[in-house]
Amino acid sequence: MKANSPNKVAIIMGSKNDYPVMKQCEQILKRFKIKNNILIVSAHRTPERLFKFAKNAHKNYSVICAGAGRAAHLAGMCASLTKIPVIGVPIKDKKTDGISALFSVAEMPNGIPVATTAINGALNAGLLAISIIALQDKKVRLKLERYRVKQTKSVKKRPR
């Protein structure tokens, strides 16, 4: 990562139909006041857009969160074209349960890593991006600590 890389996250998805899931990533970043840009970039339907985006990503972003369903090559292809961290979100769509997407995102060959969340795990993708940014940004680190404390306190001892 370049020293002057902006603390901005790219949220990309293969289809506008992935947005209801990827919105959770957007919302958690918003809560932490982390800038983000949301784009539709499809590995299969817009390969040239993908190439241009990923080749230039390091100039604009510090992390990429990439959600896709079915034959989900988006995160892996991005990772092959950039050195900034890529977090892949396998998405369950109308036709599939998300398992094919999970394997497509998780089963990367040695040398090109993609951090993979659970199926539809867009919120955790956002939190992981926040953790990465927190390594270099003290304000974000403190917010993350407060978020965790609040979360812990919100868990009741009994279910009723």
In three-state secondary structure terms, 86 is strand
Strands 35-40 and 86-91: unpaired
- Considering the complex, state which of residue 1 and residue 40 has its C-beta at the smaller distance from ligand RP5: 40
Q: What is the dihedral of CA 26, 77, 88, 58, to 10 degrees?
A: -50
- 91 scored as a contact of ligand RP5 (CB under 6 A): yes
Closest separation in Å from C-beta 93 to ligand RP5:
4
- 100 scored as a contact of ligand RP5 (CB under 6 A): no
- 70 scored as a contact of ligand RP5 (CB under 6 A): yes
Closest separation in Å from C-beta 18 to ligand RP5:
5
Identify the H or E element spanning 9. strand 8-13
Q: At 84, list the tokens.
A: 């900034």
Rounded Cα distance between 10 and 129, Å, is: 10
The residues, ordered by sequence, that sit 6+ positions from 157 with a Cβ below 8 Å of its Cβ are none
- Considering the complex, state which of residue 92 and residue 143 has its C-beta at the smaller distance from ligand RP5: 92
List 50, 63, 69, 105, residue binding ligand RP5 (CB under 6 A)? 69
Q: Which stretch binds ligand RP5 (CB under 6 A): 65-73, 76-84, 111-119, 146-154?
A: 65-73
Closest separation in Å from C-beta 42 to ligand RP5:
6
Q: How many residues bind ligand RP5 (CB under 6 A)?
A: 11
Cα–Cα–Cα angle for 121, 127, 131, rounded to 5 degrees: 140
